[in-house]
Amino acid sequence: MKWLAVAAREIAGLFVEDVGFTLGILAWVALAALVLRELPVGEPWRAAIFLAGCLALLVENVVRAARKRAG
């Protein structure tokens, strides 16, 4: 059974490195599905807002990681 745990850890490792970052992405996707879809904004603004959120998450996390390593 040990190899199953190792395989599961390896597969999870494909998607998760920084838990906060992964949870942030999942939360943003959930917000897009539950809230952004219902907002009274025209197309293609929903897609643009969703993409902007993904880019902001990436930049914020990278800068925070660099600051943490430096300090």
Partner 1 sequence: MLSFAHAGTAIASAFIASLVEAVEALTIVLAVGTVRGWRPALAGTAAGLAFLALLVLAFGPLLARMPIRYLQLAVGVLLLLFGMRWLRKAILRAAGVIALHDEAAAFADQSAALRAAHPRRGWDAIAVITAFKAVVLEGLEVVFIVLAVGAAGGLLLPASLGALAACALVAIVGCAVHRPLARIPENTLKFAVGVLLSAFGAFWIGEGLGFRWPGEDLAILGIAALFLAAASAAALLARRESAG
Q: Residues 1 to 60: which contact partner 1 by CB under 8 A?
A: 10-11, 14-18, 21-22, 25-26, 29, 32-33, 36-37, 43-44, 46-47, 50-51, 54-55, 57-59
Distance CA(15)–CA(40), nearest Å, equals 33
* Nearest CA-CA partner of 21 in 52, 64, 51, 70: 64
Rg (CA), the chain: 16
Task: Name the residues that contact partner 1, by CB under 8 A.
Answer: 10-11, 14-18, 21-22, 25-26, 29, 32-33, 36-37, 43-44, 46-47, 50-51, 54-55, 57-59, 61-63, 65-67, 69-70
